[in-house]
Amino acid sequence: MADHHPERQSAIDAHGIIGDMRSAALVNDKGSVDFFCWPEFDSPSIFCSLLDTPEAGIFQLSPDLPDARREQIYLPDTNVLQTRWLSDRAVVEVTDLLPIGDSEDDLPVLIRRVRVVSGQATFHMRCAVRHDYARAKTRARLDENEVVFEAADQPSMRLSSDQVLRVEGDAAVAEFTLEQGQGAQFLLGGFDDPRFKEGAADLCMERTLKFWRDWTGQSNYRGRWREMVNRSALALKLLTSRKHGAIVAAATFGLPETPGGERNWDYRYTWIRDASFTVYAFMRLGFVQEANDYMRWLRGRVSDCHGKPMKLNILYAIDGRQELPETELSHLSGHGGATPVRIGNGAYDQVQLDIFGELMDAVYLVNKYGDAISHEGWKHAVEVVDQVCETWQQKDVGIWEMRGEQHHFLHSRLMCWVALDRAIRLASKRSLPAPFARWDQTRQAIYADIWENFWNEERGHFVQHIGGTALDGSMLLMPLVRFVSAKDPRWLSTLEAIQKTLVRDGMVYRYRNEETRIDGLDGTEGAFAACSFWYVECLARAGQVEKAHLEFEQLLRYANPLGLYAEEFDSHARHLGNTPQALTHLALISAASFLDRKLSGEKNYWQP
């Protein structure tokens, strides 16, 4: 598999995602499922051609219509995906879904349904399951009218269809012709999944459509960007574990932040930071249950079964596993030749002091709009804040998980301030016991430290870390977390400096790496999509509403045709990095909500 065939891989933004809140699959606009980890988000892949060739696993299903125009849409207000072919000879659609099961323990089953809308078409199907990231030898065998995929020490899978299947090269294949109004279906799942019985696919489709539409209908967003906001909310919900309540950062691993480069990471885990930001987005749209579920999951990370406090890590597996050692999949050639392809994430044992601020901000919001904090929960919160009081002056790797030298990062200080500020507010509102004097004294000390040590008088702007002169996209959170007024002269001069240094056509870079190599890696990454939406909100809050509106509309055009975003943009605004990225979509929701109210002239904004 070492030989690379770039013509066989689809662009990152040429994909839709389907999911059942236990796992997710990417479907490209050619009708192929080229990425699917099964049965969990962070399980080994069974289809991984997105990061190699079709030999790494793929489920191809398409009509023989080479001149057709291809389109992808979601069935309205759902995560059910439809890929369509339009040609002179025929109009064809393939509908893909991972149905929502009756139980949170149901294994994911991939349902693919073909229908000829008009004309006649011949279809080609090839399903090549490749277990364990294509490291295990997978055998395919006929079992009556179905095909079973087996590999040593791996769960067996079954492919069922109403078409005649045969086995070629340890893959299931089929060719068939359908007339107008005719259809076919394929189901891939666990060996003994009960949904393989006749007629089950219709019921699965009906229930899944109802689930997503009922859920979307709970949104309280009625603004001008309703379609994009709802799509972002659906993407966030799809990345949320139905069983555990945890929220993964993205559905994929190994998709490069630099074309052909080494910046390739595994994002199928729950970052305290990203998930806490997601709570903010869910709350803003009125999805209180998701926020409550996440906080319940989080309680299991900060205390053991006996209620004793535990060290808070920056990321976890969805089931709470703390150790996620990084491994390179050297047999995969990477997307566009970008290697190494990594699974696991070595950042799990890094020190990032900012996570306490994001955590306490989420705790504060859930208490304000969701479930009140419990007695045990408040005890743990006090321990977290006391820890901030002890550690806020230390160096760390910062929000961007730098793999170079540690520094005193502005964003880490800022979020330590947020941790104390939200804890003091929460204790005051709920009349909870707290060492107010010590907390307030520390909060004031951090406030003074930021203004004295991170403001560069000569440059006229805040700096990324003590001793440096660089800017950082995370500074855009300063007014958003209410540390500084959005119209403060020092903040406005910093915003102007960010515009000159980090912004390119509304796309914002996290930092400039060319000279300093501050992140310890070669090359330069793309523009960071979440920072770009933070920038829009900063402009709007600073009173530059028309500019914010224009920049926001431009960013909306950089979504893929389905309204999805990856982590970053390249110089042509094409997508880079893992996809879809929760942090990007929640930043979009926040910007859309605030900007819409500004444009509508509302005075009473939703306040965290």
Stretch 211-237: mean pLDDT, rounded? 97
Stretch 26-44: mean pLDDT, rounded? 98
Lowest mean pLDDT among 108-117, 195-204, 487-496, 527-536: 195-204
User: Residues 105, 163: one domain?
Assistant: yes
pLDDT at 5: 40
pLDDT interval class at 28 (50, 70, 90): very high
Contact 575, 13 (CB under 8 A): yes
**What proportion of the chain, given as a percentage, has pLDDT over 70?**
94
Query: Radius of gyration of the chain from Cα atoms?
Result: 25
pLDDT at 276: 79
Domain annotation covers residue 467: yes
pLDDT one-digit tens code per residue, 291-312: 999 988 988 887 665 566 667 8
Q: What is the DSSP secondary structure assignment for residue 527, as one 8-state letter?
A: E
Contact 11, 574 (CB under 8 A): yes
Residues 605 and 109: their CA atoms lie apart, in Å, by 42
CA 178 to chain CA mean position, Å: 38
SS3 content of the chain, % helix, strand, coil (to 5): 35, 20, 40
User: Residues 528, 446: one domain?
Assistant: yes
Give the count of beta carbons closer than 10 Å to the beta carbon of residue 308: 8
User: Residues 261, 120: one domain?
Assistant: no
Stretch 453-479: mean pLDDT, rounded? 96
pLDDT at 518: 56
User: Residues 189, 226: one domain?
Assistant: no
User: Residues 170, 241: one domain?
Assistant: no
B/e letters for 227-245, b = 16+ CB within 10 Å, e = fewer, are: ebbbbbbbbbbbbbbbebb
pLDDT at 602 over 80: no
pLDDT interval class at 1 (50, 70, 90): very low
Q: What is the rounded (10 degree) CA torsion for 183, 187, 192, 196?
A: -20
User: Residues 378, 415: one domain?
Assistant: yes
User: Residues 263, 356: one domain?
Assistant: yes
Residues 83 and 71: their CA atoms lie apart, in Å, by 6
**CATH number for position 550:** 1.50.10.10
Peptide bond preceding 340: is omega within 30 degrees of 0, i.e. cis? yes
Q: Which two tokens stand for residue 142?
A: 């006929």
Residues 142 and 452: their CA atoms lie apart, in Å, by 72
Task: Bin 236: left if φ > 0, else alpha if -120 < ψ < 50, else beta.
Answer: alpha
User: Residues 294, 380: one domain?
Assistant: yes
pLDDT at 604: 53
Contact 484, 478 (CB under 8 A): yes
Lowest mean pLDDT among 2-16, 249-263, 314-328: 2-16
* DSSP-derived 3-state class of residue 351: coil
Stretch 152-159: mean pLDDT, rounded? 97
pLDDT at 608 over 70: no
Domain annotation covers residue 280: yes
**DSSP-assigned letters across all residues of 294-348:** HHHHHHHHHB-TTS-B-PPPSEE-TT-------EE-TTS--GGG----EES-GGG
pLDDT at 203 over 60: yes
pLDDT at 375: 92
Domain annotation covers residue 217: no
Domain annotation covers residue 212: no
Q: Which two tokens stand for residue 294?
A: 């996440």
Q: Closest by alpha carbon to 99, among 171, 31, 18?
A: 18
User: Residues 53, 119: one domain?
Assistant: yes
Stretch 268-285: mean pLDDT, rounded? 89
Residues 532 and 510: their CA atoms lie apart, in Å, by 9
**CATH number for position 155:** 2.70.98.50
User: Residues 301, 161: one domain?
Assistant: no
Q: Which domain holds residue 177?
A: 6-194
User: Residues 166, 247: one domain?
Assistant: no
B/e letters for 473-489, b = 16+ CB within 10 Å, e = fewer, are: bbbbbbbbbebbebeee
pLDDT at 204 over 50: yes
Q: What is the rounded (10 degree) CA torsion for 253, 256, 260, 263?
A: -90
pLDDT at 304: 63
Domain annotation covers residue 342: yes
Identify the helix (H) or strand (E) that includes residue 416: helix 410-430
pLDDT one-digit tens code per residue, 332-348: 999 999 999 999 998 88
pLDDT at 135 over 60: yes
User: Residues 446, 574: one domain?
Assistant: yes
3-state secondary structure 470-495: CCCHHHHHHHHCCCCCCCCHHHHHHH
Judged on CB neighbours under 10 Å (0-12, 13-18, 19+), 186 is buried
Residues 254 and 247: their CA atoms lie apart, in Å, by 19
Residues 4 and 445: their CA atoms lie apart, in Å, by 55
pLDDT at 273: 86
pLDDT at 521 over 80: no
Give the count of beta carbons closer than 10 Å to the beta carbon of residue 572: 6
pLDDT one-digit tens code per residue, 251-274: 999 999 999 989 899 999 999 888
Higher per-residue pLDDT: 438 or 272: 438
Domain annotation covers residue 18: yes
Stretch 347-358: mean pLDDT, rounded? 88
Domain annotation covers residue 604: no
pLDDT at 447: 98
pLDDT interval class at 404 (50, 70, 90): confident
pLDDT at 603: 60
B/e letters for 35-72, b = 16+ CB within 10 Å, e = fewer, are: bbbbbbbbbbbbbbbbbbbbbbbbbbbbbebeebebeb
When divided into structural domains, the chain yields a total of 2
pLDDT interval class at 401 (50, 70, 90): confident
pLDDT interval class at 434 (50, 70, 90): very high
Domain annotation covers residue 179: yes
pLDDT one-digit tens code per residue, 539-581: 999 999 999 999 999 999 999 999 999 999 999 999 999 999 9
